[in-house]
Structure 1
Amino acid sequence: MFIRMLFSFIVVCIFAVGGIFIYFYTEVKHDMDSIINYRPQLTTKIYDVNGRLIANVFDEYNRVYTRYEDIPGRLIEALVAIEDTVFFEHDGINVEAILRAVIKDIQAGGFAQGASTLTQQLVKNIILSSEKKIDRKIKEVILALKLENELTKEEILERYLNEVYFGHGYYGVRTAANGYFRKELNELTLKEMAILVGLPKAPSSYDPTRHLDLSLSRANRVIERMYEIGWIGRSEYELATAEEPTIYDDSLTQNKAPYVVDEVIKEANRFLPDLKTAGYEIYTSVDLDVQVMAREALIWGYNEILKRNKDANESVLNGAITVTNPHNGDVIAAVGGVDYAKSNFNRATQTNRQTGSSFKPFVYQAALNEHYSPMTEIPDVPRAFNDGSNKVWKPTNYNKHEFYGYITMREALTKSRNLATVNLMDAIGTKETIDKFREAGFKNMPYALSVSLGSWGTSPLEYSKHYSMFAGFGISSTPKFIKSAKSFYGDETVFMPEQIKVSQPEQAYLMIDMMRDVVNKGTATRAKVKDIEVAGKTGTSNNNIDAWFCGYTPDLLVIVWYGNDDYTPMRYVEVGGRSSAPVFAKFMNSYLERFPETTRRFSVPEGVYYRKFKGENQLFTKISPLPVTKNLAPREYNLDDGTTGAEYR
């Protein structure tokens, strides 16, 4: 009778346990997928052109993934030694440890000691909570047993070491190694590994940036445990125990160029889904060294303006500088203000400022493309114009009472003559010229003759797109920060240049030559740099509200702007030639010191010819022949390329 009752009791217990198992498994079986098909939120990393980290970009979890084969064996041993010595022997739970914990809990009258294996800890971290309840523990055991049948030990460890929290905002062991030690996993010492594997037990308490003593004590216990079970020898134990690694307390983003990062995120968001959680590696054209040079030059110019005007409002005065490759649009540096911490408004990309006389080269380029020559004479005389709104517009030169009469286009640009430029645009046709500007990508440009003097507004980076047509020999390149991006799964996206042809190479070279005169003997002499050819144009908007210098060398295009954020005028002496041109020179001197191999001379494209004109060598092309004068009769002759041109004697 007793045996029958005992048997019945055992059967009931088996069915009860089975029923409980089925009940809880039914509740959690769908949660297994989040561990088996593990897709955690991952940090996207932004790199400069030399592979240096610019910033980490993430949403809620700062996690850099690492695969099992990239995790050092010593780190695995340290983890297993301190957390789950029989990990490679059990099937998900450690029955002996559970019984030991139950006895401790009974003695303590509550939950006093845990017995979770690494598998159970993984389940708890991804699926369950940390609360100490019986039903949660049962679910944990069931899932751990099931997980061991679905994944290998190595796969479990890989997920564990990428999932758990290591304090200081670091999720995953590689993230922690990068953050605390600025090292990759294969560069860690045993002591550094011990610090890391000791963290998951109490990440806040053992955070080495906050409690180094507790962290080292915990690490020494890890090392001691490895020695006790014979996984390291005496000498390695003593050496590791004595070591005190260097700990870094870095910000989580490690953002070295915030104005750049903001723009990279905007650019990437147009092409890359889930940017802050998908773990991309984004490679940019930005050079962190050049970014520092640009920022230092911008701040220097800002301080120079403050020195000249003791009444200037330093909280309102600001500036921007962009450095691009004019041949493909690659952004090498972009600084949108003198202090990002005080203002994250990016003046390099978000502002819309009138360009002043820096716009004039586009008018002269349009004229050259209409068969004008740098030596064509245009009237520098006052006139009244209808601006399109039935109002009379009477532009003046910078010196309101100075007029040169007829002067060459070259001289008019060199000396930045307003009246000559307005008369030129009127002659070639305002509407026709604006239409061509719009075709070239100029946005929101009105049909107004005042555009010739820079009444149109833009941002420095957008302006670099248009200025690239000069150094780019007629090709305009849209600025871009990103060269390529690689997804976590290895898919690569390459960002190609966006370019349009707006002029012939030989026509663009005529403007390069004219703008060299602006720097060598015109309004931009403060932008001259020794041993390199520089071309560019200054610009100052009405009432000294904006001061520009747009300059370029064969390899670089640099746009510098200063102004007050509230659009109030700066002091009357703050013009492009004084405020912005010297900043270009300061930047270029730093750049040449760092990159002495940069190209020093502009190349001359085919179709550009030289000939004596009024006693001096002058340039011309087939589209822009030298003008016929009363005193000079042309005769036909053969050019070097076999075509026919005009020679003057």
Structure 2
Amino acid sequence: MKFIKRLIILAFICMLLGLGTVFGFYFFVKLELPDVATLKDIELQTPMQIYSIDGKLISQFGEKRRIPIMYDQIPQNLIEALIATEDHRFYEHSGIDPIGIIRAALVVIMSGSVKQGASTITQQLARNFFLSNEKKIMRKIKEIFIAIHIETLLSKQEIMELYVNQIFLGYRSYGFGAAARVYFGKDLDKLTLSEIATLAGMPKAPSTMNPLYSIERATNRRNVVLGRMLTEGYITHSEYEQTKNKNIVASYHEPKIELNAPYVAELARAWAVAQYGDNVYKSGMKVYTTIDSRLQNLAQHVAISNLLSYDQRHGYRGAVAILWDKNSIAWDTIKIEVHLKNQPSYGELKPAVVMTVTDKTAKVKLQNNKNIILSWDGIKWARRYVTDTLQGSAPQRASDILSAGEQIWVQYVNQEWHLSQMPAANTAMVAISPKDGAVQALVGGFNFAHSKFNRVTQSIRQVGSGIKPFIYSVAIDQGMTLATLINDAPINRWDSSQGTAWRPKNSPPIYDGPTRLRIGLAQSKNVMAVRVLRRIGLNKTINFLTKFGFNRANLPRSEALALGAGSLTPIEVAQGFSIFINGGYYIKPYYISKVENPFGKELHKAKPKSICKNNCNVHINKRNSSNLQEEENLLDQTDDIANTSQLAPQVISEQNAFLVREMLQANIWGGGSWRNGTGWNGTGWRAQKPLNRRDIGGKTGTTNDSKDAWYSGFAPGLVATVWVGFDNNARNLGRTSNNTNLKKIQISGAESGAKTAQPAWIDFMINAIAHVPEQRKEIPSGIVQVRIDRHTGLLTRKADGSAMFEYFEQGTEPTEYVSAASSHGNIYESEGEELF
């Protein structure tokens, strides 16, 4: 009895010492323990993702790949696999497993080192969130205290949810949702039992037990997991046998980018950082842009195809590199494969090496040791490039173009491979909704990896004749009409400051004498635009142009403004054209539709200004406001309607917008009657047959020496602008001659807006509005239509080919008939001493 009594006392003393030790350790590390309560509000580090408005993934930004999932989204067999393998008493303990700790302690005593862990799932969660992975006693003690604290704050479901979302599983994947995508390219709920067990076995050593590092280790570990699931009764023996004998099929899966819009992704990224700071990279935000995936894919294809067509008609500039020549030993397959593996691809352009050349074909090797044949149809375009204005003669044989050992570019066109090359010029294209300014497609250049400079928003270029619709809008505002006659005749003005004469010319240099305003814009008559500007006045014109949102600093104070000396970005041009299409309202382009957190809660929603045309009770003196800022100030001061700041300001009248639209439609469809000999075309006539509808319009733009080529135009619900030019503004787009190897339908002569930019616009609109019914013309109130004489613009009683119906703003229509005017000889607008 005495021995037993002493034994009990000793046990009691040991217990007190143990408790004292525990409390001692607790108070020793107390100040170093983290605030576990932060787990209640934990935000998992998840990449920010950029989407199109219809939910297509454009890009993601962030170091960690993670796909957060809620507890009820976790597959039951994954929960069972984790419990069976990592912590089979998970639902029984309060954060630590005493049996496991005793087992690990015995191993330490016997071996003298820490060789076996005893971590529960809760302890692993504590370590992953708050501690390191170092195997030290003090770290283990902290881990135990934190785990116990976690169990008092969170339910078992909350602990499991955090664990499943937070655990590192190799290859930058954090959480099982991301790992399912990385290794198997599937959503977590689509995985098989074998795949679930493979992932469940990886927390022990994610860098070495994943199936990409070692399929053998991953298979062995998977089978251990299956064995534990069998032991715990989660799967049957039949399921165990069937699954353990299956091969693991895994490969690395990049995030599935569904839409190619890298310039849009960069705009969205910069916007998000500006709004929310650098934490967006681990916020899991979903940023939905205004981009329409169908229109974006279309714009991407037509803009790049058009640029490559421009580049190729100017000739072939030769191989990228010479790997070996006829006097050298040809490279072997392995050396070629290694070389090509290190070469970039740029969109449709793929690096390749010429292996052999025959009379009309060439055998070429691509990456991954793929062999292809370039047929004569794919290489016969490649006459030699000499200069931007001169090309060599058409090649007769493949050997005139290619030699074995050359590294070249190829692209897949119309079901066959073609020789290609990196374009020297560049392009930009943007399509927006004139209703609210939503940017629906944006191509900032040939290739984002090649150049991150966004030419849609950053490239300020002279717009050439693309400025004329805005000049003519000023003219209409000042009382001119579509029938006003302006003298289309050469201008010769002495500039005393320069000591030279200024002689602006039409392109082509054809002059028709007194010509109606409608024709002047549609045919892009340069001298007419200058005379219109003179009549209005330079100051008044510049003030009016700021209504469209144009920067005054980029509008030169000279008559060259009428010829396009003003400089704008493509997005500014599209924005300006939208005003003509929506009835005169200033809308600001925007790219971001909404932002959500990882669980779908809306954090931001775009609120573009709306267009209100009826019963708005907003009274703005549009005629008297000199610029856009004044319009907005007047609107903001109006008390007649709630939340007027959300209304788009009307910067030109609906009648003005309608009349400019008429001239833009004439740019494509011309006017007159070809049957009666009065027909004429505008500079955009090439869109007539491909589109074959009357509810479209646009304007070409070409700057001096063809440095910039533009086309901007509209269709129902859409405005699009295309630009082509060299980033080096000193270089001209040049001219080409016919290539005798090609069909008769080819572009030649001097490059211009109609030849260089409009083809992309046409191809875009053909598909963009293919299923949109043709819209009937809506004539606003205050517009009248009268019969006029084609030559004088005055009223006529005739109904033959000399007459036509024209639109006028009520009160500006002519009042004289042509016969009466003729007798007085006063049928043309006067410009002082200049003769018509």
TM-score norm. by structure 1 comes to 0.90
Which SS does the other structure have where 2:95 is aligned? coil
Q: Structure 2 vs 1, CA of residues 384 and 242 (structure 1 numbering), >3 Å: closer, same or farther?
A: farther
Name the CA distance, whole Å, in 2 between partners of 1:605 and 1:207.
Answer: 68
For 2:290 and 2:247, how far apart are their aligned partners in 1? 38
CA distance in 2, matches of 1:280, 1:447: 46
Determine if the alignment matches structure 1 residue 403 to structure 2 residue 406.
no
* 8 A contact 1:285–1:481 mirrored in 2: yes
Quote the residue 2:55 is aligned against. Answer: 51
Are 1:587 and 2:764 counterparts?
yes
Measure, in 1, the Cα distance between the counterparts of 2:474 and 2:548.
Answer: 11
Aligned CA distance change for structure 1 residues 386 and 194 (closer, same or farther; 3 Å): farther
Q: Does 1:277 align with 2:266?
A: no
Shift of 1:94: 1.3
Q: 1:467 aligns with which of 577, 589, 594?
A: 577
Match of 2:122 among 116, 119, 123: 119
Q: Which moved more, 1:614-623 or 1:213-222?
A: 213-222
Deviation at 1:257, TM superposition (A): 1.8
Where does 1:493-642 land on structure 2 (aligned, <5 Å)? 493-498=604-609, 499-520=648-669, 521-528=681-688, 529-532=690-693, 533-567=695-729, 568-572=731-735, 573-593=750-770, 596-597=771-772, 599-614=774-789, 615-622=803-810, 624-626=812-814, 628=816, 630-631=818-819
What SS class does the counterpart of residue 200 from structure 1 fall into?
helix
Between 78-87 and 184-193, the greater mean CA deviation after superposition:
184-193
C-alpha deviation, 1:580, in angstroms: 0.7
Alignment partner of 1:325 is 2:433: yes
Do structure 1's residue 372 and structure 2's residue 521 form an aligned pair?
Answer: no
Name the residue aligned to 2:264: 260
Look up the match of 1:195. 198
* Aligned-pair identity (%): 32
Structure 1 letter corresponding to 2:113: G
Is 1:482 matched up with 2:592? Answer: yes
Distance 1:400 1:462, change over 3 A: closer
| Range 511-520 or range 493-502, more displaced | 493-502
1:32 aligns with 2:36: yes
Aligned residues: 629
Query: 1-side partners of 2:595 and 2:273: how far apart?
Result: 12
Tell me the SS of whatever aligns to 2:204. Answer: coil
State the alpha-carbon separation in 2 of the partners of residues 449 and 519 from structure 1. Answer: 27
Post-superposition Cα deviations, 1:98-118, rounded to whole Å, max 9, x if no partner, equal: 222233344444222211111
Indicate conservation of the 8 Å contact 2:715/2:769, yes or no.
no
Identify which of 4, 14, 19 aligns with 1:14: 19
Residue of structure 2 equivalent to 1:66: 69
**C-alpha contact (below 8 Å) 1:376/1:626 kept by paired residues:** no
Alignment match, 2:674: none
**Cα separation, 1, equivalents of 2:199 and 2:812:** 71
Q: d(CA) in 2 for partners of 1:303 and 1:508? A: 35
Structure 1: any 5+ residue segments left out of the alignment?
634-649
Per the alignment, do residues 365 and 40 of structure 1 end up closer, same or farther by CA in structure 2, a change over 3 Å counting?
A: same
What CA RMSD, in Å, does the superposition of the two structures yield over aligned residues? 2.8
Cα shift at 1:218: 3.2
Q: CA deviation at 1:216?
A: 4.4
CA distance in 1 between counterparts of 2:494 and 2:244 reads 86
Find the residue that maps to 1:219 and give its secondary structure. helix
Give the CA deviation at 1:172.
Answer: 2.1
CA distance in 2, matches of 1:199, 1:10: 39
Instruction: Sort the Cα spacing of 1:11 and 1:50 in 2 relative to 1 into closer, same or farther, 3 A.
Output: closer
Cα distance in 1 for residues equivalent to 2:291 and 2:156: 42
1:623–1:262: structure 2 CA closer, same or farther, 3 Å change rule? farther
Q: CA deviation at 1:168?
A: 1.9
Q: Which amino acid aligns with 1:617?
A: F
Counterparts of 2:511 and 2:760, CA distance in 1: 31
Letter in 1 for 2:809: T
- What whole-Å deviation, never above 9, does each CA across 1:256-287 have from its counterpart, x for those lacking one? 32111011223334444543232222222212
- 1:205 Cα deviation from its structure 2 partner: 2.2
Cα offsets for 1:296-319 (capped at 9, x unmatched):
111211121122212359453111
Aligned amino acid, residue 564 of structure 2? G
Q: Does 1:429 align with 2:537?
A: yes
Task: Verify the 8 A CA contact 1:387 1:448 in the aligned structure 2.
Answer: no
Please tell me whether the aligned partners of residues 373 and 626 of structure 1 are also in contact (alpha carbons under 8 angstroms): no
Superposed counterparts of 1:352-391, under 5 Å:
352-383=460-491
Q: Name whichever of 190-199 and 534-543 sits farther off.
A: 190-199
Matched residue, 1:441: 549
Q: Distance in 1 between matches of 2:501 and 2:205?
A: 75
Deviation at 1:15, TM superposition (A): 2.2
Deviation at 1:156, TM superposition (A): 0.9
Secondary structure in 1 aligned to 2:173?
coil
Among residues 81, 86, 94, which one is paired with 2:84 in the alignment? 81
Counterpart-to-counterpart distance in 1, 2:812 and 2:169? 69
User: Residue by residue, what CA displacement relative to the aligned partner does 1:482-507 show, whole Å, maximum 9, x if unpaired?
Assistant: 11222347244221224432222232
Distance in 2, matches of 1:428 and 1:386, equals 21
Cα displacement (A) at 1:351? 0.9
- In structure 2, the CA distance between the partners of 1:251 and 1:515, relative to structure 1 (3 Å rule), is same
Question: Distance in 2 between the 1:204 and 1:387 partners?
Answer: 76
Counterparts of 2:298 and 2:208, CA distance in 1? 41
The match for 1:95 is 98
Q: How far does the alpha carbon of each residue in 1:138-180 deviate from its partner, in whole angstroms, 9 at most, with x for none?
A: 1111111121112111111111112111222122222233444
Q: Does structure 1 residue 349 correspond to structure 2 residue 457? A: yes
Q: CA 1:620 to 1:159, structure 2 compared with 1: closer, same or farther past 3 Å? A: same
Counterpart for residue 172 of structure 1: 175
Rounded to whole Å, the distance in 2 between the matches of 1:308 and 1:626 is 49
Asked if 1:42 corresponds to 2:230, the answer is no
Question: Residues 526 and 73 (structure 1 numbering): CA distance in 2 closer, same or farther, change over 3 Å?
Answer: same
Q: Are 2:311 and 2:423, in contact at CA under 8 Å, matched by a contact in 1? A: no
Question: What secondary structure sits across from 2:434 in the alignment?
Answer: coil
1:132 CA displacement: 0.7
Change (3 A) 1:118 1:624: farther
Between the aligned partners of 2:201 and 2:568, the Cα distance in structure 1 is 55
CA distance in 1 between partners of 2:496 and 2:193 (Å): 78
**1:434 aligned partner, one-letter code:** I
SS at match of 2:691: coil
Post-superposition Cα deviations, 1:12-36, rounded to whole Å, max 9, x if no partner, equal 44323321122123321x3423334
Post-superposition offset of 1:588: 2.0
Corresponding residue for residue 642 of structure 1: none
Distance 1:206 1:626 in 2: 87
Asked if the contact 2:311–2:424 (Cα under 8 Å) also holds between the matched residues in 1, the reply is: no
Deviations 1:421-455 (A, max 9, x none): 01101111110111121133111334332222111
- 2:43 and 2:509 map into 1 onto residues whose CA distance is 73
Q: State the alpha-carbon separation in 2 of the partners of residues 339 and 542 from structure 1.
A: 27
* Aligned partner of residue 500 in structure 1, secondary structure: coil
1:6, CA displacement in angstroms?
6.9
Unmatched 5+ residue regions in structure 2? 316-384, 389-420, 610-647, 670-680, 736-749, 790-802, 822-836
Structure 2 match to 1:646:
none
Give, in whole Å, the separation in 1 of the partners of 2:123 and 2:496.
78
Structure-to-structure mapping, 1:136-147, within 5 angstroms: 136-147=139-150
